[in-house]
Structure 1
Amino acid sequence: MVPTPLHIKHTMFAQPPHAAKAAGDISSAFVQLGSTAEPLPPRFAALKQSISPRDPAILALAWTRLLAQLERETAEIEREGPNIVPQVDFAAIRANGGRFPDAVAAQIRKRGCVVIRGVVSEEQALGWKEDTKKYIARNRNRLIGFPAQDPQVWEVYWSPAQLAARENPNLNVTTGALNALWWAEEETLVDLERSVTYCDRLRIRKPGDTSFALGEHVDGGSLERWEDDEYRKCYTKILEGDWEAFDMWDATHRVNARMDLYNGAGGCSMFRTFQGWLSLSNAGPGRGTLRLCPLIRETVAYMMMRPLLADLASVSDMAGAWPARVQDLSREYHEHIIRAMVSVPDVRPGDCVFWSCDTVHAVEGVAGGTEDASVFYIPAAPLCELNANYLRKQRDEFEKGRTPPDFPGNHCEALIEERGKPGNLTRLGRTLMGFEHVEISEGMGKGQREAVRRFNVILGLRGA
């Protein structure tokens, strides 16, 4: 068994939990894009000792089993290529009462990712892209992005088109279906039948671009997975050497996990069941698209055990995990995962791609072809207390036109009069953004009911 962890204080890197974030762009979150990271202090070596089994043979044997399983799975991934990623039409979700068909759900739970076809019409998606390009062009003197001289990823959050996409009814059905792939113990304060809005950036990557090349990484915290007591509970079975029993889709401890202990550019303080994007262009392998490791249980086990193995057990090195940054993976420490990476299949405007909060992903180094690779980043996030607290802050920033709390504090859109505003939202959009209360219904479970009640209280909504 894993011994009780030591209570190690955050003495070197941790920042005040609500300090305003510095200005910057998406590169601020990535060491691989030029962000710097200092060596970790000795307390991380002590942390590793406190959370590892007393008998080193337990993890050593688990690692041997894991590598054997990865060899078998990687052979299938290499045979199938991008087609290994589950694919489903949005129409099939709607016809199934807003849930994934059982066979598709099983594949998503194994692969940790999915392509959903036709969530919105191609005409609608292309219209949103054109509107966004015009919004950027009209306000170019105020807006920034990465890289600075020719942005491919924009620090833009409140364009009218982004607001319209986030509140689109089909997107809401889709994120609800993704949330429903998860489960939690009855007392857990979470409503997995509903979604709330996490406002993120957009990408318009020009053909031929090589600047926005991201290596393999994982968002949703880095050191926090080992360091935060509650977050670490998500991975108890892995840390005990029983990775085969790890359940990726158990939200019981995720809803209270602290994913942003360092309040940095790479942090995310909201529980996203899935990250994702809505495609605004034709894209696919070789055209600057997303790459994924389509195997979730084994890759999470690999990532969590790797810093605890014999070669790193007595030092502070956490195998690519840094404070206030995304978690980097490298061939030095994660060769087997990188071998199993694939590009997502071809997508058309209006298709969506989603990947779980623990899925290893990357971005192709070259945007080949003749068309831009453009997306709105729109994740799935359930109703829970953690997300309500973030939503309250995000709502306040939205009203002022300021950057959402998790992102660099540029506030580029605050003085742009044509930005999207609360008055532009539909009733659904207002509910997703925390402006409207959520009804408590008779069919709700105990934890679900309390989650909704607290949501309304935190956001100061009628019916609280």
Structure 2
Amino acid sequence: MLLRKPSKGSATAVILLVRWRRLLTALRNEVDHIEGLGPHLIPSIEFSDVDDAAQTRRFGRDVRRYGVGIVRKVLPRSSAQQAVSDTVGYLEARAGSSTTRPARFRGPRQDPWCFDCFWTPAQVRCRAHPNVLKAQRYVMGLWETDGDERLTTRLPVSYVDRVRVRGGGFDDVVVEGIVGEVGSEESEESEASSSASFAREERKKMGVGGSGSSNLMNKGSISISSSSNYDHDHDHDHDHDHNHNHNHNHINNHINNHNNNHNNHNNNHHNNHNNHNNHHNNHHNNTTITTTTTTTTTIINTTPDDDPPFFRNPHKHHHHHQQQQQQQQQQQQQLLAADDWISALQSSAGVIAQVDNGSLERWEPDGYGRCGTYNRIFAGDWENYDPWQSSGRVGATTDLYNGYGSCSIFRMFQGLLSLSTAEPGMLRLLPSPRLATAYYLLRPFFSSRRPPPGPDVARPGPEWDAYLDPDNWLLQPEPDTIIHGAVPGHAQRLTEPWHPHLHLRSSLVTLPTLQPGDYILWHPDLAYHFSDPASVAGPAGPDRPVTMLLYVPAAPLTQTNALYLARQRKAFRRGHPGPDFDTLGRGIVAEDPDLRPGEDEIARVGGVDALRAMGLAPWEPEPASAVVDLANLILFPE
């Protein structure tokens, strides 16, 4: 992705700059507003009130304003406690199973309390629970669908995700360092050691440490190139149907389209779910961090002592004759290398927030650009951007790089269902779905005149005020490929050095206390931050009660989601990880069939609606619905 700018002094450049500076002013007021209200701005509603028009009107208004809300008492406390008890027994039994080891159901080392388990009693039952499905239908109804026949919010689909566990002795394994690598749960110790060694070498190649290489942490220079032909002097205009084509075209000139083969490849991804894994493997393996070709090379020079470490968007090209095994190996190696970089980032960048549903994809023409999700923002018209308009998202590709845990479906809300008491401080969110999103999307196109204050300068203060002043920021004078906080196959990262106007220490709001059965949901563009549990509740041990939260997002029925559901159904029947968590497509680390719940448990808890949400029973097209007919054809073709 090469970035270009409008001609210096052109009317378009002036308009974009004026709107950017207006955004910075609005964002400063937004941060002050958020800081003033704190946790009190997060709306909540009792599950028993979701049919009360007066209560839902207030709750819906605030959710749309802040992008987050809590539905209280979705599960009875007794059901939540029983789910925790049964799941603790499941995890302990699985840890002692001859087919698994504790390390194999641990999460990434940056977040080891996120377990790579998908079919525990708590997860299977809670996804199937009628109250959970009803809560999902209710909150998805807050989106604007405008009669779009490509989706229905009346029929939620169950997206299989992980579980967060702490206490009850489960932390002992984490403390001892038995934590699985991201995307490498199948590795034995020797394989893990080999992967870590390779990751270190890859980091050297990418300039993340090591002698003889450019060091991003020390502000080096790197070069990237692509096999695609880019004409730096030619505008690649796109005809978007809104009132700001002219401005949008100039911003869009910063983002070069991929070649036709790449676009066709993504189209096949939507049309044939059987080729989904091959599509993503090929796409990710065509990602290059440092290459040499005969086309064009762009040199990126960072300013000494000014810029934080960064990753740039690598161009993609297709090696049609590579063997599948080589592709998978390269994919795994690149993921590990990026994972190492994120570890380094966590130790050097202060407060870090993340945004799910892709990173680079938000700027990619064949990512969110497929349906113009952020067209208004890229046109500078952020004031009229609607984050709740589903038509701009239902056809987007949110995972171009097959990242481990990167959500490839259209989900309207990320969600956490609490099965125990979760104290304040565990989760913090940035409740600004419009302004904060516009800021981090436009941030790569602008730079400051003066460098940021040094690390010893107090914030706030006059030097910081001068640095953050809107008049200190200009449209990029030269094209570059820096996309702040974006790493292929990983969530978008927001940091204090890269995104200073977000004031993350002030704008990340601490979540109120969650009780067993409470369900918090937030917009997929919202930034959030998980705190180290030890910093919130102190060191855990065998005597500390188990704390358990389930990732339970809310997703509507769409064609893309039905295609994914077909693959997820196969994973369920085999006890394999969900497809987004099985990046190599080999279904490793199957959960023991003698331990995990099956279809009968889903039917017992939630009946036919729960079976349908898992793709285990056909939907009844009443009223008539094109997307229901299509989903039934995909999942039940006979």
Instruction: Tell me how far 1:266 sits from its aligned partner.
Output: 4.6
Normalised by the length of structure 1, the TM-score is: 0.82
String of CA shifts for 1:265-323, please: whole Å, max 9, x gaps.
Answer: 1521111100001101212323xx11100111111111111112234861111011111
For the pair 1:385 / 2:559, whether they are aligned, the reply is yes
- From 106, 113, 117, the equivalent of 1:152 is 113
Match of 1:422 among 566, 576, 599: 599
**TM-score, reference length from structure 2:** 0.60
Q: CA deviation at 1:198?
A: 0.1
Letter of the 1:241 counterpart: G
Question: What's the offset of the Cα at 1:346?
Answer: 0.9
Distance 1:263 1:195 in 2: 24
Residue 355 of structure 2, aligned match among 205, 218, 222? 218
Q: Structure 2: 5+ residue runs without aligned partners?
A: 180-345, 447-474, 538-543
CA contact (8 A) 1:205 1:372 kept: yes
Q: Does 1:456 align with 2:632?
A: yes
Cross-structure match for 2:513: 346
* 1:316 and 2:481 correspond: yes
Q: Which residue of 1 aligns with 2:461?
A: none
Q: Does the CA-based 8 Å contact 1:228-1:258 persist in structure 2?
A: no
Deviations 1:139-191 (A, max 9, x none): 11414203679952211101122111001011001000111111234344111
The one-letter amino acid paired with 1:61 is V
What does 1:343-382 align with in structure 2 at a 5 Å threshold? 343-367=510-534, 368-369=536-537, 372-382=546-556
Q: Work out whether residues 416 and 549 of structure 2, in 8 Å CA contact, stay in contact via their aligned partners in 1.
A: yes
Aligned partner letter, 1:436 = A
Residue 69 of structure 2 corresponds to residue 114 of structure 1: yes
Residue 50 (structure 2) aligns with: 93
- Correspondence 1:64 to 2:229: no
Partner of residue 622, structure 2: 441
2: CA distance between counterparts of 1:226 and 1:57?
A: 22
Retained in 2: the 8 A contact 1:58–1:240?
no
Report how far residue 215 of structure 1 moved: 2.8
Indicate how the Cα distance of structure 1 residues 157 and 311 shifts in structure 2: closer, same or farther if over 3 A, else same. Answer: same
- Number of the residue aligned with 1:45: 3
- Corresponding residue of 2:588: 411
Residue 191 of structure 1 aligns to which amino acid in structure 2? T
CA change 1:253–1:192 in 2 (3 A) is same
Report matched runs for 1:188-203 at 5 Å: 188-203=149-164
**Separation (CA, whole Å) in 1 of partners of 2:550 and 2:598:** 18
CA contact 1:155–1:412 (8 Å) conserved in 2: no
Provide Cα deviations, 1:216-241, integer angstroms capped at 9, x if missing partner.
01010111111034613111111111
Q: Does 1:123 align with 2:78?
A: yes
Report how many residues are paired: 408
How big is each residue's C-alpha offset from its partner over 1:187-224, in whole Å with a ceiling of 9 and x where there is no partner?
44111222000010000133997989993010101111
- Find the aligned partners of 2:109 and 2:168 in 1 and give their Cα distance: 17
The higher radius of gyration belongs to 2
Partner of 1:134: 89
SS at 2:155 equivalent:
strand
Q: Aligned ranges for residues 264-279 of structure 1 at < 5 Å?
A: 264-279=403-418
2:256 match: none
In 2, the alpha carbon distance for the partners of 1:253 and 1:188 equals 13
Which segment drifts farther, 143-152 or 154-163?
143-152
Counterparts of 1:27-46 in structure 2, within 5 Å, are 43-45=1-3
Q: Determine helix, strand or coil for the equivalent of 1:204.
A: strand
Provide the rounded CA distance (Å) in 2 between the counterparts of 1:191 and 1:297: 24
Kept in 1, the 8 Å contact 2:397–2:408? The answer is yes
Partners of 2:168 and 2:108 in 1: CA distance:
15
CA contact (8 A) 1:59 1:305 kept: no
Is 2:251 aligned against 1:251? no
Deviations 1:21-75 (A, max 9, x none): xxxxxxxxxxxxxxxxxxxxxx3336x889xx98222332222111211222222
**CA offsets per residue over residues 81-114 of structure 1, 9 Å max, x none?**
1111111111110444xx9711211110010000
CA distance in 2, matches of 1:54, 1:192: 43
User: 2:402 is paired with a residue of what secondary structure?
Assistant: coil
Q: Does 1:104 align with 2:59?
A: yes
Shift of 1:377: 0.7
Query: Once the two structures are superposed, what CA deviation does each residue of 1:373-411 show, in whole Å capped at 9, x if it has no partner?
Result: 420110000010010010010001111111110014563
Instruction: Quote the Cα distance in structure 2 between the aligned partners of 1:321 and 1:171.
Output: 33
Range 59-68 or range 386-395, more displaced? 59-68
Cα distance in 1 between the residues matched to 2:405 and 2:551: 15
Look up the match of 1:402. 576
Deviation at 1:79, TM superposition (A): 1.7
Greater shift after overlay, 372-381 or 227-236?
227-236
Helix, strand or coil for the counterpart of 2:363?
Answer: helix
- When structure 1 is superposed on structure 2, of 76-85 and 269-278 the one drifting more is 76-85
Change in CA separation of 1:328 and 1:439 when aligned onto 2, cut-off 3 Å: same
The reply to whether residue 331 of structure 1 matches residue 525 of structure 2 is no
